[in-house]
Structure 1
Amino acid sequence: MKELLKSLDKLNRIYDQFDLLNFRAHKVIPLTFNKKDSKKLLPQNKRLYFSYSYLDKEKTRLTNLILSQAIDLKDPLFKQNKELHPALIDKSLKLKNIDETHKKETADLPNRNRKINKLKRLITMIDDENIGLCQGYLTQMKVLLYQNKDSLFTERTKKYQAKELLDDVDFRMKIMQFDYDRYLYEDFTPENFLNYLIFDKVQRHASFIKSYDARVLLPEAEQCGFSGIAYEVEIDGIRECYVTFKGTEADMDYTENSRSKRLEKFLLEGYKDWNYNVKAILVGTSEELDQLVMARKFISYLQKSIQDKCFIYGLGHSLGGHLVQTLQLTDDCFKAGYTLNSAPVNLKQVQEVTPDLFDEQIWNKLFKLTNKKTVTNILNREIKQLLPREYPEIINQSFEQDLTQVFYEIPYTIWIGQKWEYNLNTWKYPFKNHLASYLTENEIHSYQHFFAQLFNYLQDSTTGPQVMRNALGFMRARVKILQDDIDKPETAEFFYDYSNYLYESGIFLDRPQEVTDDFNKSQPTMWKSSRREWPFLKSLNMDMLELSVYFHIISGVKYFLNRTPNKIE
């Protein structure tokens, strides 16, 4: 079994290298946005393809080795647990099947020699490796071995220290990712997964682990889209509770055989989260507080249920990070916490749920400071002086140009605690997150109003197809209004400013031009007219859209965290 365990570790490291290679490939995608920069791709592609070729061969070798080791494995333990050996073989066969299927699909990819397309082809090939799924199967095999024969795992002599897990970056990433990947561990409880993960990180055995799933404890949580898991653990007499809040990243459950049901779940989960993002964070209306209300109920339940002298730590990605920050401001419930690419706190929302947090004078000062939003260190310091305290125990880590940072320039939004921003040196990445540099105050309010109207229009949607159908209906209606009003100077100016922001951010490749008089409803269709009269609209840069999402999700942003952050006061 020790040899099998070594092979599992080696293959897991290969998949880690695949994941890092994926990041490196995405990192050079901005070079494809213009011909001058794309010349640098030729040497880049050669190095990336060489690394991929080596990793792919090693992956196949180790996958075959693990399967043969699992089949040939003999141990007296198998007589006591007759399901263990077949389970190990089953996971090994699944790894082998993914490897063989990948090779067949890779062979069908067109052999495109243009250096830009070769880079995109490489990313497609890495995506097809199913890194997350394969690492899930590897972890399941390790969990099985750890559960049944922990003597294979050498424990360190030094006792566990408080916050040791919290301060481990890889632990934080994996425990936050688990809520997205729970479908990979359907044969195991969260306790099984965490028990092994704890030992893997600190080489000490946990004496107690209990998980609390918000969607089990609070049935109405799923209805509004709220998702969170808490883990109460004890290691060497130290009790800690890790609370993880899931972000907006909807997970595609590939264990569901029906493609339509997978898509249905994906669309509805995404819609619920974005409904909260827009109404509660972007706009700050009082009508959409369900997820925050559920989060407060969840924390209240935990505080009553966990053991005394058990410190509660908050962890959250994206929307989940917003909940960590907001809960700390409203309820001061975490001993410490980390957020990743977090959405901000909206003061209008906070006032709705905890009106007594500040007196009327402080509320007015905060609203005045954050009404016209241009993020500066001076403004941040003025805001912090009005808060109950500085909250140094909350650390907000983010990619400096992450798409959620746009929210921080929306009126009435703030962050609490420390803010650590990460980037790469001498790197071109066009996305702009400072809205105030491109849009006027009225245009930003119009931006908020547009999305508020959209989700009000969608509020009666109960299925995935209804969400899509109603969203398209809303867009058609707004395009018709735009078409009718495009000759008005104020409309043209608004449209130009938004378009220019999207161009400067790389979302569109063509610089916007003034709309001509021929752009009117006498044309056959709005789309045909716009494509002929305004090339900008047909230059949507899907590579940039995909890139902005990749650097937002955990698997993409985590590789920035080994850099030295810019710590904002």
Structure 2
Amino acid sequence: MTYHGKWTILEVTAVDMGQHMLQQTRALWAICERYEALVFKLNVLIPDAKTDVTHQLMSINAEQQTLAKRKRALLVYLLQDLKNHQQRLLKRNPTLTQVFVDEITQMLADLPRTQSMVLDQPVQSILQQLEHIVHSQQLQRIRSLVIRLEVALQVLQPTQRRHPLVPYQPGSLFRNWDLLMNLMQYDAYPHDYPGVDAATFIQWLAYHKGNTRIDDVTVTDLRTAVPEAKVTGLAGTAYSVVIGKEVEGYILFRGAERTGMAGEWQETALDWQYMLKSIMLGLPNESDQLPIARQFTQMIMGHLQLLSPDARLYGIGHSLGGQLVQAVQLLDHPFTAGFTLNSVPMQLQQLQSLAPKRFSKTQWHALKHHRGHNVSHLLQEFGEKAANIINVRFSQDFTALFYQAPGTISLGEERSFTLTNWHYPFTAKLSNFFTKNEISNLLELLRYALMRLRRASTQRQVGAFLFDTILTLYRNANIPATATFLDHLSQYLYACDFFTKAPVDFMTDASGKRHSFRLTFANLMNQREFFKSLNTAMFAPLVTLHIVNGVKFIVADNQQDIETEELGSSFVTQTTIPTQTAIQSVIAES
């Protein structure tokens, strides 16, 4: 056998061959990300654009055709390389078998011809066309292929070249936002990566995004470790990784995302019940997720310390999961650092109820009367350690509505991003439309809704409840305060583009009757054009800009030619709830 330095000729050839195929797989992954960016653009940028979008639509159509051709060519090249070197690869790595050849061959057979979108249609129809085209491109299968093949190709490198010359710097993976958001995306949508388990994914992700090889990984599912978590809706995953002499743990608390899987309705209902009841309203909750999140965190920390007394634990969470990261850190401080994305706030009443002795009475009082939401500086005045949490968000994310509620706070550094030169009508600044009493009315309606929704187990029952609530308000529109509240609510929904036609002011009469069928009917008829103008297209950007695989295009440097800018923190102030309001009396009557 001929040697070349420390490696044999066979080893050098295998490395070069593996690197060549690695270039092809990474190009395939980039194409998958580019398809996601096109859907993001059409979902978010186009419907709310103030200028003519014909040129942009033509550009998106041309690019998706180019991507389809490029993807097919890359698959052909990759298949040819695997066939040409199959025997040599088999000797070097048994995992590179005929399976990959057969898989790519079948994938090429299943790919459709290059398709073009019909552009002389409404934007919503064009979006549906693009989503159909993207679905037909089999991106799930390609992601799975790329991950499994790249993990197999790693084994081609000789042992001496497995680790970089520069030792791993502790926390390097955590400081990579793009890596963290990919990990959150996998945790929320694992079915988008068929055949790829969590351990394989994080090993691939560390190598692909962080140029780091993980020597060993243990994955712990929260619901497996703490079975009672399921009835609360809490879900998450812990990754315990060993990189050389370093031991790090990553706990992901899942947000209230729509997964598209069976049982989604019940899961979503449990998460929203927690966010509305425990966080927005600060009510006692038998399905509180925070105690279980604390228990799971301590369990994982104990496991890490058995591996190394210097182990580091990091908390990661999106939306609801971000709230849990902040709350666990405030109460127990187990994390070296934390990262949250579009997080909902913490609720002081919940925190004090769970850990009344965490702070003194004077400190709890100071927290409750602190001006503004972020209490990081106040905690440092108490002598607390720095939280080391970064809260990243889209500046107009709908979770800002939660910060309207009394007792809501946040912890850590806040970084806010938005898109440049772009119109987005949604606002969480309710004080621009409602009085303080009316915002209290909204919270009271929410409290009433939760009482009713406890008995609702289907979407139809929830819809029936919403209709009943609206009808109850309309029947009481002869009460001046109720009529004014409904006027302001309609104006807010119109300003946010949920309805495209302006509402008509509600009528009252001097009869003094609390309920008037004639007046109720007249108000409903006057608002019929307003109701008919429901803008369903507005819901797509509202959701897209909140979920991980949408907001990542705003806050991460993903080089997808989407122009963004970083803003300062701009959360709205809290509202104090009066003792009794007009709407409360209406609710009591209904």
Displacement of 1:197 = 1.7
The 3-state SS of whatever aligns with 1:248 is coil
Deviates more, 1:134-143 or 1:534-543: 134-143
Does residue 504 in structure 1 map to residue 495 in structure 2? yes
* Partner residue, 1:42: 54
Cα distance change, pair 420–455 in 1 and its aligned pair in 2 (3 A): same
Displacement of 1:52 = 2.2
* Partner residue, 1:256: none
Structure having the higher helix fraction is 1
Which blocks of at least 5 consecutive residues in structure 1 are unaligned? 254-261
Does residue 320 in structure 1 map to residue 321 in structure 2? yes
Does residue 180 in structure 1 map to residue 188 in structure 2? yes
* Matches for 1:390-539 after TM superposition, within 5 Å: 391-461=386-456, 466-516=457-507, 521=517, 530=524, 533-539=527-533
Deviates more, 1:381-390 or 1:484-493: 381-390
The 3-state SS of whatever aligns with 1:358 is coil
Which blocks of at least 5 consecutive residues in structure 2 are unaligned? 1-16, 510-514, 558-563, 571-590
Displacement of 1:31 = 3.5
Task: Give distance in 2, aligned partners of 1:171 and 1:273.
Answer: 25
* Partner residue, 2:74: 62
Cα distance change, pair 164–94 in 1 and its aligned pair in 2 (3 A): farther
Amino acid corresponding to residue 459 of structure 1 in structure 2: R
Displacement of 1:215 = 1.2
The 3-state SS of whatever aligns with 2:362 is helix
The 3-state SS of whatever aligns with 1:398 is strand
Task: Give distance in 2, aligned partners of 1:472 and 1:236.
Answer: 55
Q: Percent identity?
A: 27
* Matches for 1:99-138 after TM superposition, within 5 Å: 99-100=111-112, 111=118, 113-114=120-121, 116=123, 120-121=127-128, 123-125=130-132, 127-128=134-135, 133-138=140-145
Cα distance change, pair 293–20 in 1 and its aligned pair in 2 (3 A): same
* Partner residue, 1:167: 175
Task: Give distance in 1, aligned partners of 2:496 and 2:179.
Answer: 33
Task: Write the deviation string for residues 405-460 of structure 1: whole angstroms up to 9, x where unpaired.
Answer: 11122211111110000012332111102222222222222222323333332324
* Matches for 1:117-516 after TM superposition, within 5 Å: 120-121=127-128, 123-125=130-132, 127-128=134-135, 133-146=140-153, 149-151=156-158, 155-185=163-193, 187-253=195-261, 262=262, 265-288=263-286, 290-306=288-304, 307=307, 308-369=309-370, 389=384, 391-461=386-456, 466-516=457-507
Task: Write the deviation string for residues 467-499 of structure 1: whole angstroms up to 9, x where unpaired.
Answer: 213212312321331232122211111112122
Task: Write the deviation string for residues 304-361 of structure 1: whole angstroms up to 9, x where unpaired.
Answer: 2113210111111111111111111111111111111111111111111111122223
Question: Which residue, 63, 72, 79 being the options, matches 1:51?
Answer: 63
Task: Give distance in 2, aligned partners of 1:209 and 1:552.
Answer: 30
**Would the aligned equivalents of 2:477 and 2:508 in 1 still touch at CA under 8 Å?**
no
* Partner residue, 1:15: 32
Task: Write the deviation string for residues 58-101 of structure 1: whole angstroms up to 9, x where unpaired.
Answer: 1233344445555666135547987752442454356446633x
Displacement of 1:165 = 0.6
RMSD: 3.2
Amino acid corresponding to residue 484 of structure 1 in structure 2: R
Cα distance change, pair 121–516 in 1 and its aligned pair in 2 (3 A): same
Task: Give distance in 1, aligned partners of 2:469 and 2:447.
Answer: 13
Task: Give distance in 1, aligned partners of 2:450 and 2:105.
Answer: 45
The 3-state SS of whatever aligns with 1:357 is coil
Cα distance change, pair 300–98 in 1 and its aligned pair in 2 (3 A): farther
* Partner residue, 1:257: none
Task: Write the deviation string for residues 524-566 of structure 1: whole angstroms up to 9, x where unpaired.
Answer: x97x973654422222211111101001111111121235533
The 3-state SS of whatever aligns with 1:303 is helix
**Would the aligned equivalents of 2:483 and 2:507 in 1 still touch at CA under 8 Å?**
no
**Would the aligned equivalents of 2:342 and 2:394 in 1 still touch at CA under 8 Å?**
yes
The 3-state SS of whatever aligns with 1:75 is helix
* Partner residue, 2:554: 560
Task: Give distance in 2, aligned partners of 1:342 and 1:496.
Answer: 31
**Would the aligned equivalents of 2:57 and 2:119 in 1 still touch at CA under 8 Å?**
no
Deviates more, 1:553-562 or 1:50-59: 50-59
What TM-score results when the alignment is normalised by the length of structure 2? 0.82
The 3-state SS of whatever aligns with 1:212 is strand
* Matches for 1:83-94 after TM superposition, within 5 Å: 84-89=96-101, 91-92=103-104
**Would the aligned equivalents of 1:45 and 1:118 in 2 still touch at CA under 8 Å?**
no
**Would the aligned equivalents of 2:380 and 2:386 in 1 still touch at CA under 8 Å?**
no
Task: Give distance in 1, aligned partners of 2:102 and 2:318.
Answer: 33
Amino acid corresponding to residue 232 of structure 2 in structure 1: C
Displacement of 1:29 = 2.6
Which structure would you say has the larger Rg? 2
Amino acid corresponding to residue 36 of structure 2 in structure 1: D
**1 or 2 for the larger relative contact order (CA 8 Å, sep ≥6)?**
2
Task: Give distance in 1, aligned partners of 2:341 and 2:138.
Answer: 21
Task: Write the deviation string for residues 199-237 of structure 1: whole angstroms up to 9, x where unpaired.
Answer: 223333222211111111111112211111111112121
Task: Give distance in 2, aligned partners of 1:521 and 1:58.
Answer: 64
Cα distance change, pair 232–533 in 1 and its aligned pair in 2 (3 A): closer
Deviates more, 1:553-562 or 1:467-476: 467-476
The 3-state SS of whatever aligns with 1:314 is strand
**Would the aligned equivalents of 2:477 and 2:507 in 1 still touch at CA under 8 Å?**
no
Task: Give distance in 1, aligned partners of 2:109 and 2:445.
Answer: 47
Task: Give distance in 1, aligned partners of 2:230 and 2:376.
Answer: 38
Task: Give distance in 2, aligned partners of 1:385 and 1:145.
Answer: 48
